[in-house]
Amino acid sequence: MPRVLRIINRLNLGGPTYNAAYLTKYLSPEFETILLSGVKQESEESSEFIIEQLGLKAVYLNSMHRDINLSRDWQVYNEIKKVIRDFKPDIVHTHAAKAGTLGRLAAHHCNVKIILHTFHGHVFHSYFSPLKTRFFIRIERYLAGISSRIIAISNKQKHEICNEFGICPTEKCEVIPLGFDLSRFRENIPNKRKVFRAAFGIADDEIAIGIIGRLTAIKNHSLFVKAFSHLRRNTREKVKAVIIGGGEDDNQIKNLCSNLALNYSIPENINSSSPVIFTSWIKDIDRAMAGLDIVCMTSLNEGTPVSLIEAQAAGRPVVSTRVGGVEDLIVENETGLLSNSGDVEHFAVQLRKLVNNKELRQQLSEKAGSLVFSRYHVDRLVNDTRQLYQKLIAEKG
């Protein structure tokens, strides 16, 4: 039985955790897998419940954190090498940047035959200074050289990785989109909607506009808040903004709301008259999706945004910035509305189109729902990955 060592940055809520967990679970018993994980940040919500629900256990690398620390990272590198020597994997498959760097270096120096890396996003723009960005690009080019294959999660991401940033030749990069168990987003929607809206003081005649994700600079929540403020001044409909998540920019976004005269509520003190609600993290996101009417994403850079896949599976129309793999996920004006990154007024205009037109909301959500179920189901993810593993094992003999 082939052995796979799967390494992920950390078990925080998001696409990488689902991807690693589903592959670990559903490639068994054909592939024996160990799942290695680093440690999440304090501001992030744990996603350990995902692997627990699947009956999995992770092996934790307690020294592996998101930030760069040469001493600590050297320790993690040696810990991974020890696991490789003991487990003797046929495949080392890493997910996201830190795991991809330390895991691939360790696998290469231990002569692992098949080394794979999945880019769930990338840090080649909007994260760091130009000098630091060039440094990371050079590192990723070297790491791609010691990898058997690079996996992108969308065609747009593959184009960026191969053609814009020259990380690896196109023939070395495979596209395997994310996959999820989306059935729960179609189940018991009326009851979930009632429970969610009651919990956060959202009236039946209010249009709830949600954004889901870590409150950090790259997610650009300030665009969402500014666009919502613009929308409120230009529509007669009753609208409410619902900010789901948490992170280091929490206070900054709340201060922006105050500066724009947008009163906000928090879970400990819900006020139904507040136009903005900060819910913090919500684990049963299918309940939240049922309670929302429109879902937004305002990121500066993305791989394949999980919240937009889940929104469409739940039959919720979306408005998003036109970044990363979004255009592979959203067919503009057919399954969702797009806006250029940083354009507050146009984002607000796109929101107003949906707020003022219930028929358009219904039209977009119906088409989007059927597309995401065929493209992003977990079975497709597992089958695509299995075929790649089998192909590489055959090539390596």
Pick left, alpha or beta for residue 34 (phi over 0 → left; psi -120 to 50 → alpha; otherwise beta).
beta
183-375, CATH topology level: Rossmann fold (3.40.50)
Instruction: Say whether the peptide bond before residue 16 is cis (omega within 30 degrees of 0).
Output: no
Q: What is the phi/psi pair of residue 80, to 5°?
A: -65, -40
| Greatest mean pLDDT range, 18-27, 201-210, 279-288 | 201-210
Q: How high is the pLDDT of residue 397?
A: 73
Q: How high is the pLDDT of residue 157?
A: 87
Q: What is the phi/psi pair of residue 297, to 5°?
A: -140, 135
**Average pLDDT score over the chain:** 91
pLDDT digits (tens, 9 = 90+) for 354-382: 999 999 999 998 887 778 887 888 999 99
Q: What is the DSSP letter of 183?
A: G
pLDDT at 242 over 60: yes
* The token pair that represents 184 in the structure block: 């729960």
Q: Do domains 3-181+377-396 and 183-375 have the same CATH topology?
A: yes
3-181+377-396, CATH topology level: Rossmann fold (3.40.50)
Residue among 202, 173, 296 nearest 245 (CA): 296
pLDDT at 319 over 80: yes
Please check whether residue 221 is in contact with residue 211, taking contact to mean a CB–CB distance below 8 angstroms. yes
Helices 15-26 and 378-396: crossing angle, nearest 10°?
A: 70
Q: How high is the pLDDT of residue 46?
A: 66
Q: Could you tell me the residue ranges of all domains in the chain? A: 3-181+377-396, 183-375
pLDDT digits (tens, 9 = 90+) for 19-50: 899 999 999 999 999 999 987 766 555 667 78
